[in-house]
Amino acid sequence: MPNTILAAVALTQKQVELREFDRPEIQADTGILKVEKTGVCGSDWPYFLNYPASKGPLVLGHETVGYVTGLGVSAAKRWGVKEGDRVALEEYLPCGHCHYCRTGDYRLCDATDTLVGTGIRYGSTPISVQPSLWGGFSQEQYLHPNTVFHKVPSDIPADQATLALPLGNGVEWAVFQGGATLGSVVVIQGPGQQGLACVCAAREAGASCIIVSGLEVDSHRLALAKEMGAHHVINIEREDLLESVADLTAGLMADLVIDCSSGGPDSLIAGLHLARKGGRFLICGRKGKPIPQFDSDFLFKRCLTVKGVRGHSHQAVELGIQLIASGKYPFHKMCTHSFGLNSVREALLTVGREGDQSAMHCSVDPWQ
């Protein structure tokens, strides 16, 4: 076994550099993962654009699937895994004892919150924090004592296995947080991998009308949304979104609106108007700027529930993996692009829509 590990390091100005790192020594409570494949998440793009400048160079990638190849004695007992196990990692490294961890919301634990805190997690921790190998765009990855694992069946193709976290998000948002259920009318804004995951989750929950909206450039994604279970799709550059949803719901509008779009705050205003009186609206991503002159009276008049959601629970990811294993949905059609370590920059640009516009879900194969 070589003593060094090759990884792709994100730098400033949209640059990536291949570097070799010393193999971390395995302690009693740590381990090593041989990376099989890692998905490129839409959240990797803003990190690539902005965070290396403030955090320093880092190894991105948190939708990782691989094999446990090194394992400390106490780690084996704590994690419930053994060497050779095929696993998917969550990005979170929760403390395990705070209020959020004890109540099941460990994704909000301060120890692993990198958005509103100084925590650490896979895929967004700089290489200055030892032992540097915190991301999946690498041949091997360090396994922290607080790692959260999911067993992955051997018959799931690697590229589909990297969808475990996105599908976990879909289950968490559409069902656990959004309350989609039998007979629900659900509108999903944005047909990216998260939006498509919400389609599958809403369909599994029994939603009777699932509507997905997108742009002209999303035509191929909207077509796939129909295959994933959407009843209707709307190209908002060709059709009026509000009028179309009103027509499809006999004027009642949606029980649940999920904003998975990557645009600015305009989609938020549209989403609020898509929800019926007493409906629910989920905000599932950063918009980068506030809504100008936001009228809170609109929420009051329509009795709306508005919730910001991020990430997933352990149960949601488990259900996501079960969805992949079921073979009920054409997830292979989502997995459009695979890149090697020497093409990580291209992979990130593609996810940021500065590359191939036909891409849906991209992944990095460190052995390609």
Which residue do the tokens 């450039």 mark?
217
The pLDDT of residue 285: 84
Q: Which residues of the chain have pLDDT under 70?
A: 1, 51-53
Question: What is the Cα–Cα distance from 168 to 173, expressed in whole angstroms?
Answer: 9
**Are residues 175 and 205 in contact, defined by beta-carbon separation less than 8 angstroms?**
yes
Tokens representing 55? Answer: 């955090």
Domain boundaries, the chain: 4-163+334-364, 170-308
The pLDDT of residue 52: 62
User: Which CATH superfamily includes the segment(s) 4-163+334-364?
Assistant: Medium-chain alcohol dehydrogenases, catalytic domain (3.90.180.10)
User: Counting every residue, how long is the chain?
Assistant: 368
The pLDDT of residue 118: 81
Which residue do the tokens 């998905």 mark?
39
The pLDDT of residue 51: 65
Domain 170-308 has CATH 3.40.50.720: yes
Q: What is the pTM of this model?
A: 0.95
**Are residues 133 and 7 in contact, defined by beta-carbon separation less than 8 angstroms?**
yes
Could you report the per-residue pLDDT of 33-46, keeping only the tens digit for each?
A: 999 999 999 889 88
Could you report the per-residue pLDDT of 194-223, keeping only the tens digit for each?
A: 999 999 999 999 999 999 999 999 999 999
The pLDDT of residue 33: 98
Question: What is the Cα–Cα distance from 207 to 210, expressed in whole angstroms?
Answer: 7
